[in-house]
Amino acid sequence: MRALILVMDSVGIGAAPDAAAYGDDGADTIGHIADACAGGDADNDVRQGPLHLPHLVELGLGEAHRLATGRQLTGLAYRGEVRPQYGCASELSKGKDTPSGHWEIAGVPVRFNWGYFPRTEPCFPPGLIDAFVQQAGLPGVLGNRHASGTDIIEELGEAHLQSGKPICYTSADSVFQIAAHEETFGLERLYEVCAVARGLVDHLNIGRVIARPFTGASSRNFKRTSHRRDFAVPPPEPTILDIAKAEHREIVSIGKIDDIFAHRGTGLNKRGDGNDALFDCMLEGWDHLADGGLLFANFVDFDSVYGHRRDVAGYAAALEAFDARVPELMERLKSGDLLVITADHGCDPTWRGSDHTREQVPVLVSGAPRGSPIGKRRGFADIGATVARHLDLPPLAHGSPF
């Protein structure tokens, strides 16, 4: 009896009930990708035909989207019987950021307001930057505004190489992001300055300081690497990870899960460069996970590589590549194992801007006893509550098992 929570980062399935308050009424990550593929609108000459996700659709992805939006999508319709249980969930936490979504999945909704930086230039308070430069021993900073990470590196990367000044920027999330060249600035040096920044933004209630290392010699070939690190505040209450640890259960975390939870209760962490490598890590961790154990995995490429970059065709191809590997996981499920596939927010690649979108998420379950339909869930914490019950852990403070 084991459990696996698999987060397809940003794979939303339609605007949340409160999406209008976030400027996201009408956003639909999976729906708009499917629409673009069916209509030939994806910006890729190689892209032909409808979105093809047979294994995720068999697990209930298309039906979860229909439940959330009322639309039956080309490429997501399933003619057979959907085998497992499926549903959709709307977030209770304030915001549409990564920590809030993951913490709520793990049983801790974020009821407080995060701190954010204004859409001005400069966006960071002068006192913050002055203290950061002084305490980190820097010659200054570049950027100091809202920006797409890839765009600002392309724009300011060469100036960074010449000056030694890190590139600091933010987004609609509660983040202070620092980009620097992995070789000339140094990866460990980047982590050190991020740790300095973490201490300086705590009083502003900023959720994450993110190290964004990159390589390359010029704007023509700058590329972000897989050595990103998130310096996050810890969850305000015990999550399912904390409870599982207290019960001496084996825990394996995949990808950036350990960063998201500030390395609290995340057990053995495995990382890989890209979704395929992360899938390999997940299978390896799952193969060796003890009875009663919990594996928590995040697949970030959907969000960081395709969603934020508004790459519809790339997102579609990534979904199809991921779907093709789902059978490898399904064949490893044993009697008594529970699999929950979900997401933490949306990042509609057809939407304006480059930020996350406030969306419902799929809840695709395999291994649970057949019971009442999952239906529409108010809050992601029902996922954590269900996993806790399945693993015979003490109940979480939030959420209702389905």
Instruction: Give me the pLDDT at residue 39, please.
Output: 80
Quick check: helix, strand or coil at residue 223? strand
pLDDT given for residue 333 in this prediction: 95
25 within domain boundaries: yes
Q: Say if pTM beats, i.e. exceeds, 0.95.
A: no
Number of domains comprising the chain = 2
Q: Is the residue at 267 inside a domain?
A: yes
296 shares its domain with 148: no
pLDDT at 138: 97
Residue 251's beta-bridge partner residues?
294
CATH number of the CATH domain containing 264: 3.40.720.10
Q: Is 117 part of a structural domain of the chain?
A: no
Out of 194, 212, 232, pick the residue that ends a domain.
232
Domain end marker among 188, 214, 232:
232
Low-confidence ranges of the chain (pLDDT < 50): 45-46
The answer as to whether 71 is a domain residue is: yes
Here the contacts of 14-17 (C-beta below 8 Å, separation 24 or greater) are: 14/65, 14/68, 14/69, 14/71, 14/88, 14/359, 14/360, 15/69, 15/357, 15/358, 15/359, 15/360, 16/90, 16/91, 16/358, 16/359, 16/360, 17/90
Burial environment of residue 296 by CB neighbours within 10 A (0 to 12, 13 to 18, 19 or more)? buried
Give the pLDDT confidence score for residue 83 in this predicted structure: 64
pLDDT at residue number 41 = 59
Among the candidates 232, 262, 281, a domain finishes at 232
Q: What are phi and psi of 69, to 5 degrees?
A: -120, -20
Residues 290 and 314 in one domain: yes
CA distance linking residue 3 with residue 240, whole number of Å: 11
The domain containing residue 384 runs over which residues? 3-112+236-390
Return the pLDDT at 42: 54
Do both 169 and 182 map to the same domain? yes
CB under 8 Å to 354, separation ≥6 — which residues? Answer: 148, 171, 308, 309, 310
Query: Considering the chain, what is the average pLDDT of its residues?
Result: 93
Alpha-carbon distance of 205 to 89, in angstroms, equals 26
Q: Are residues 248 and 354 in the same domain?
A: yes
Residue 201 lies in a domain: yes
Residue 120 lies in a domain: no
Question: What sections of 45-148 are H helices per DSSP?
Answer: 54-58, 61-69, 98-105, 126-136
* SS3 at position 192: helix
Same domain, 262 and 357: yes
pLDDT score of 371: 65
And the tokens for 127? 């006192």
Residue 250 lies in a domain: yes
Angle value at C-alpha 314, between 313 and 316, nearest 5 degrees: 65
CB contact at 8 A, 256 and 300: yes
Measured from the Cβ of residue 72, the count of other Cβ atoms closer than 10 Å reads 12
Residue 119, in any domain of the structure:
no
Q: How many CB atoms lie within 10 A of CB 57?
A: 24
